[in-house]
Amino acid sequence: SDDDFTPPPRDPLHSNPQLCRDLLSTIKSAVPLAIRSSKISPGSGLFVEKEIEASREIYRSFPLMACVDTAVNNNHTVCHYCLRDTKEPLSGGDKVDGVYEEAKACSACKVARFCSKGAQLRMRSLRKIEAGEELTICYVDPTIDVVARQQLLKKEHFFDCYCPRCKSETHEQALLTTIKSKSKSSTFLPTLHTAQSQILSLLSSAVLAAKYPNMYPQFTDLNSVETQLRAITSTAFSHAQPPQPQHWPDHLEPLPAARLSLATLYLNQDKPLPALRNALRGKLMSRRRQGPEWANEMLEVISILLLVGSTLPSDGGSGGGGGGGPDVQDIRAVAYGYLYEVARQVGSVFGSDCAYAAKCKDVFTTMAARKAEPRVGTKDFADEFDKAQEGLMRWAGV
């Protein structure tokens, strides 16, 4: 079958010094780099020869040629070069043997649609990197569980990963599921993995139900979906013995991702309060506190905060979890605080000169200018934020 495909053997890159020099000569690097035998997986790795602080650019790479993507025939209206919506199809000209003979230029920037001219790839450090350390990126979605990551890497990239994060998360799951007695030790790790698959299947069904409600009516009731989710997570750790947790750890994937998905599904049903509760529990109980995925997910949480803060009456709420919803002033203060942190981090993660970081900063600056005292970034605001977040977390059950 296709899954049994075995790639032919090949020599690693580091066995050809001239090829390594040629590859490194094509990039613009702020620090000396070297291609050597990888320390974490068979094959070659990219190493830094000098210490790099966090949030620094390591290198940038430019395309060797400008080309037009085959997706030019999709009749989209947004130019992938200038990112403007021209409100007109930007497809190519006559189609010859399944390929467009010439790409139609965007009327806004006069550059061929999907042209890679001016594009570049930037590698930046998310943490401090020691001299001689190997650079790593995640080949798959870094937000998913270690077991799912390992399966995808094996299936799609043909290697087993032994990076520090994979080893740490694998070790944690082993500790969470190992039952020790005087005579022997046992594990319910397979039970945990089964539960993780069940959570993914449950949320996948709920997402499909949102798109095709008549085909999956049993998953349109999100309260019922949450009940099923609680049943799965409680059953998975029924064999645990102290000092192991007797319930599913809130940070353990895919539970945080499931809650973020539920937040989106509740929004689609015009139910902002349960959407906010799930968004806060999913994001703030996750262990991720930096990186591009963190910034992108936090923007989703902020959008829900702003939506709820604009729809509830100014005197609504119960001040942090009493008999009703959350306190509106708490929501607004927390939204300002989160947006401030995201605007700060996207500059570090993506580079302050990238369009995405600049846009986030502009949004924050515009919103912060409208806020009454105390101003965001001051000590008085920090005190206001801490109190507001405490009340909001209490309401959300974080």
Give tens-digit pLDDT for 311-368.
Answer: 877 655 544 434 467 889 999 999 999 999 999 999 889 988 888 899 999 999 998 8
**What's the confidence (pLDDT) of residue 120?**
82
pLDDT of residue 119: 73
Question: Beta strands of 115-256 (E only): which ranges?
Answer: 121-124, 134-135, 178-180, 185-187
Mean pLDDT on 89-105: 46
> For all residues of the chain together, what is the average pLDDT?
83
Percent of the chain with pLDDT over 70: 80
40 pLDDT band (50/70/90 cuts)? Answer: confident
pLDDT greater at residue 89 or residue 91: 89
pLDDT of residue 241: 73
Q: What is the pLDDT of residue 160?
A: 87
Give yes or no for residue 102 having a pLDDT over 60.
no
pLDDT level of residue 185 (50, 70, 90 thresholds): confident
Mean pLDDT of 294-308: 92
* pTM, entire model: 0.76
The total of other beta-carbon atoms located within 10 Å of residue 34's CB is 14
Residue 271 has pLDDT above 90, yes or no: yes
Report how far residue 167's alpha carbon sits from residue 170's, in angstroms, rounded to the nearest whole number. Answer: 5
308 or 99: whose pLDDT is higher? 308
How far lies 134's CA from each of 33, 40, 264, 398, in Å? Answer: 10, 9, 37, 37
Task: Report, in angstroms and rounded to the nearest whole number, the Rg of the chain calculated over CA atoms.
Answer: 25
Cis peptide bond upstream of 217, omega within 30: no
The dihedral of CA 172, 177, 183, 184: what is its sign? negative
Q: Are 330 and 317 in contact (CB under 8 A)?
A: yes
pLDDT higher than 60, residue 67? no
d(CA 116, CA 65): 8
Q: Looking up tokens 């090829």, which residue turns up?
A: 19
The pLDDT confidence band at residue 100, using thresholds 50, 70 and 90, is: very low
Average pLDDT on 15-44 reads 91
For the stretch 222-269, pLDDT in tens is 999 999 999 999 888 887 777 677 789 999 999 999 999 999 999 999
The reported pLDDT for the residue numbered 137 is: 87
Q: Percentage of the chain surpassing pLDDT 90?
A: 47
Cβ-based burial of 86 (10 A; exposed 0-12, middle 13-18, buried ≥19)? middle
Tokens representing 159 are: 């290697």
Asked if residue 326 lies in contact with residue 317, where contact means CB atoms within 8 angstroms, the answer is yes
pLDDT at residue 48 tops 90:
yes
In terms of Cα–Cα distance, which of 261, 259, 237, 262 is closest to 248?
237
Which is more confident, 96 or 253? 253
Residue 182 makes CB contacts below 8 A (sequence gap 6+) with: none
Taking only the tens place, the pLDDT of each residue in 187-229 is 888 999 999 999 999 999 999 999 888 888 889 999 999 999 9
Q: What integer pLDDT is reported at residue 245 of this predicted model?
A: 73
